[in-house]
Amino acid sequence: MITKLKQSFFKNRTVKNAGWLIGEKIAQALINLIVSILTTRFLGPANYGLINYGIAYTAFFMSLCTLGINSILVKEFTDKKYDEGTILGTTVFLRMVSSALSIGIIFCVVSFIDADEPTTILVTLLCSLGLFFNVFEAFNYWFQSRLQSKVTAIASFIAYVITAGYKIVLLILKKDVQWFAFATSVDYICIAVVLLICYQKYNGSKLKFSPTCAKHLLGKSYHFILTGMMVAIYGYVDKFMLKHMISETETGYYSTAVTVATMWCFVLSAIISSVYPSITASYKAGNTALFEKRNKQLYAIVFYLSLFVSSVFTIFGKYAILIIYGRSYLPAASPLRIATWYVAFSYLGVARDAWVVCENKQKYLKYIYLSSCAANVVLNSIFIPIWGASGAAFASLITQMLTIFAAACIKPLRPNAKLMLDAILLKDLLPKKEKQSEQIHK
């Protein structure tokens, strides 16, 4: 009885945690809808594509800057092998060093590749500044581990309102594209400041750096570094290739399609983030049946919710782009009908991280993503010259599907592949009428 009450209480906290995350993201999305419409229309496809080209560099190096530590932080806080202040302090220090190095590398690379385009170099550099301030995202995982996402939800919303205000001022003053590029960094700066204030307010432990803790964290997370880089490559290489093989305008169409296709994915992220602690807790408690059930429930929610939304975008996506972005962005409708279907497979991969970390199978992910990354580059090389933005969307769809199906080919990951298959088939997830009737008779 006591166990059931504890489980019920935990579930209620999980639901409330998800509620705050989703609520904050909905409010954020409403503001973003208005600001994004105005900004995208003002910039036009070419400048919008240029900013997304700069963001692609940032996103690629973001996976390197995190050092894979984000994927294990919640479990580290749960395991309590080191005190929270040491874990956070060590994480922040490591990420600051990697972020500073990444910004330098980005500047060198873009200065070489786009040597004759000073605006492109400046836009990319301004976008990359956010890497340094994104290190404070680590505090977000501290609040998540305590099921206090209410705090981070409010912090993110405040930061987002400030960033939206900054963009509105730029629109009023009709500033150049580089000012809008810096807006991507303003968001990270605001969130960093607010999270630090909240951490102190909630009596967070004093931050400390520990070489031993650093070795421990990197020993567990380094598998995710390569994995993250591979994900970033096949997630953003299409924008690099579109820009250099066709034009910034085609990059703008593709970026618009991806933006619309993923504009609701904050719901999936919130659900995954909130369920993650309950999955790690059930594993730590040694409750295998509950651990597997919670994983399957998460996969089923992610998969079927994604399929429903993708169906809606396939039918009404053209009208959404026409209403939101205007007729000049209408060519984005074709890649949208394709891009929307990879969301289900992409977020199944994100949801899988909880099982992978608990079972300590991180080292096998690199094989999946390395092969998928190579496939994505080849597919983009084939389909971009033929179909442009739609070709990039098709290449991404095939790649995301490969990352899920490839797990079944690796023996240690087959139990997880089976859980995903059971979730898609809704096996042992729906209540069985026969068992219910037997319990009533008893």
Which residue carries 């990879």 as its tokens? 342
User: So what's the pLDDT on residue 75?
Assistant: 76
pLDDT band at 295 (very low <50, low <70, confident <90, very high): very high
Least confident of 68-82, 366-380, 416-430: 68-82
What integer best gives the mean pLDDT of the chain? 84
State the DSSP string of 325-392. Answer: H-GGGGGGHHHHHHHTTHHHHHHHHHHHHHHHHHTT-GGGHHHHHHHHHHHHHHHHHHHHHHHTHHHH
Mean pLDDT of 127-147: 83
Residue 5 — very low, low, confident or very high, per pLDDT cuts 50/70/90?
A: very low
**Per-residue model confidence (pLDDT) at position 441:** 46
93 φ/ψ sector (left φ>0, alpha ψ -120 to 50, else beta): alpha
Residue 292 pLDDT level (bands cut at 50, 70, 90): very high
- Identify the pLDDT of residue 333: 95
**What was the pLDDT predicted at 2?**
39
Residue 80 CA, chain-centre distance (Å), reads 26
What is the structure's pLDDT at 19? Answer: 60
Quote the CA–CA distance of 423 and 402 in Å, as a whole number. 18
Percent of the chain with pLDDT over 90: 33
pLDDT at 440: 45
Q: Predicted confidence band at 123 (pLDDT cuts at 50, 70, 90)?
A: very high
Residue 228 contacts residue 68 (beta carbons within 8 Å): yes
Please state which of the ranges 123-127, 131-135, 380-384, 419-423 shows the lowest mean pLDDT. Answer: 131-135
Per-residue pLDDT, averaged over 146-155, amounts to 72
Answer for the pair 275, 423: CB distance below 8 angstroms, yes or no.
Answer: no
12 pLDDT more than 50: yes
Q: How confident is the model at residue 423 (pLDDT cuts 50, 70, 90)?
A: very high
* Least confidently predicted of 102-111, 114-123, 269-278, 341-350: 269-278
Q: What is the band of 435 on the pLDDT scale with cuts at 50, 70, 90?
A: very low
DSSP class per residue in 2-26: HHHHHHHHHHHHHHHHHHHHHHHHH
Other Cβ atoms less than 10 A from the Cβ of 408: the count is 14
User: What pLDDT is recorded for position 20?
Assistant: 59
Between 355 and 11, the more confident residue is 355
Name the band, by pLDDT with cuts 50, 70 and 90, for residue 4. very low
In eight-state DSSP terms, residue 69 is G
Residue whose structure tokens are 């997630």: 235
Q: Which amino acid is at 302?
A: V
Cα-Cα-Cα-Cα torsion 387, 321, 233, 179, nearest 10 degrees, comes to 120
Beta carbons of 73 and 140 less than 8 angstroms apart: no
State which amino acid sits at residue 74. V
What average pLDDT does range 330-336 have in this prediction?
95
Domain ranges of the chain: 9-429
Q: What is the DSSP letter of 410?
A: S
- To the nearest whole percent, how much of the chain has pLDDT over 70? 89
Residue 223 has pLDDT above 80, yes or no: no
What angle do helix axes 389-405 and 342-358 make, rounded to 10 degrees?
30
Termini Cα distance of the chain? 18
Neighbours of 29 (CB within 10 A): 15
When mean pLDDT is compared across 19-23, 201-205, 348-352, the lowest value belongs to 19-23
pLDDT value for 21: 57
Q: Lowest mean pLDDT of 122-131, 349-358, 410-419, 426-435, name the range.
A: 426-435
When mean pLDDT is compared across 41-45, 143-147, 292-296, 379-383, the lowest value belongs to 143-147
Composition of the chain by helix, strand, coil, percent to 5: 90, 0, 10
The least confident of 25-29, 105-109, 122-126, 158-162 is 25-29
